[in-house]
A = this chain, B = another copy of it.
Amino acid sequence: MTNGHHSDHPAASGAAAQHTGDTYQRFLTDLFGAIAYGELSAFERMSSDARFSPTLHDRATLGRLAVHEYAHFELICARLSAMGADPEEAMRPFQPSVDAFHDRTRPADWYESLMKFYVTDAISDDFYSAVASRLDAETNSLFQGLKATEQPGEILLGRLREALADDPRLASRLALWGRRLVGEALTQAQRVLMERAFLGGLLDGEGQGAVDAEIKSLTAQLTRNHSKRMSLLGLTA
């Protein structure tokens, strides 16, 4: 993913100069809290859904992906603690929106659950990549480390392709489900961004107009990448 648009923007250099302020620390605590709670929830949902896998092999594979989510959760919590923040305090504000997302997107079967991880894990990764370029070097390298430890997207893509080849009737159902997932994910993400004035820490000193423009541009980018991933499955976003 290229961040060309962001690094060309004057705000980026302005924000980069303020990596030590209180606002930036609050922003990081929020960011890590949101990611940590997202990872913990993904771990629980993924390992619960693993049980409904059609084969033992699929159960083991999904279990392994879930365990990676837990490892990420622990890494982020360790970073929060190192910053002097309480990981549970940091996660709490994001609990309602993440839980609401999961409540509104309950998979009807194992294939929908596979699709859910394929879509949401990638959107989260895109989101982190988009903000990472604006963050301090230490945080940036933490994010790079998280991305390097696993490739769930590849595994999920392969398994979904296999499922779609086995049963072509799945295609229309999963295409519909993918649209619903991305809609809910973006709605919840925007809610979090607004409620917590999340981007304030990165766009310090700029007006609400700049924040709104950033949200709009980020949303467009996430949607474009989602469409590309659906195309890889032969589905229309």
Which chain A residues have a beta carbon within 8 Å of chain B's beta carbons? 40-41, 43-45, 47-48, 50-51, 55-57, 59-60, 63-64, 66-67, 70-71, 73-74, 77, 88, 91-92, 95
* A44 and B40 alpha carbons, distance in the complex (Å): 14
Question: Nearest Cβ in chain B — how far from A155, in angstroms?
Answer: 16
| Contact residues in B for A47 (Cβ distance below 8 Å) | 43-44, 47-48, 66
Q: In the complex, what distance in Å separates the CA atom of A88 from the CA atom of B53?
A: 13
Inter-subunit contact B73/A70 (CB<8 Å):
no
Q: Are A88 and B57 neighbours in the complex by a CB distance under 8 Å?
A: yes
Neighbour of A70 across the interface among B41, B64, B91, B92, CB < 8 A: B64
**Do A63 and B57 touch (CB < 8 A)?**
no
Specify the main secondary structure of chain A where it touches its partner: helix
Chain B nearest CB from A9 CB (Å) reads 36
Whole-angstrom distance between the alpha carbons of A80 and B43 in the complex?
26
Q: How far is the CB of A55 from chain B (nearest CB, A)?
A: 8
User: Are A91 and B56 touching (Cβ within 8 A)?
Assistant: yes
- Closest B residue by C-beta to A95: B56
Knowing A47-B47, A48-B48, A48-B51 are in contact, say whether A40-B59 is a contact too (CB < 8 A). yes
Chain B, Cβ-Cβ closest to A48: B48
When distances are taken between beta carbons in the complex, the residues of chain B under 8 Å from A56 are 40, 88, 91-92, 95
Which residues from B are CB-within-8-Å of A92? Answer: 56
Contact A50 B44 (CB under 8 A): yes
Nearest CB to that of A99 among chain B residues? Answer: B51
Say how far A37's CB is from chain B's closest CB, in angstroms: 8
Q: Is the CB of B60 within 8 A of A73?
A: yes
Q: How far is the CA of A43 from the CA of B43 in the complex (A)?
A: 11
Q: What's the minimum C-beta distance from A159 to chain B, rounded to whole angstroms? A: 16
**Given known contacts A56-B91, A88-B57, A92-B56, A63 and B50 CB-to-CB distance under 8 angstroms:** no
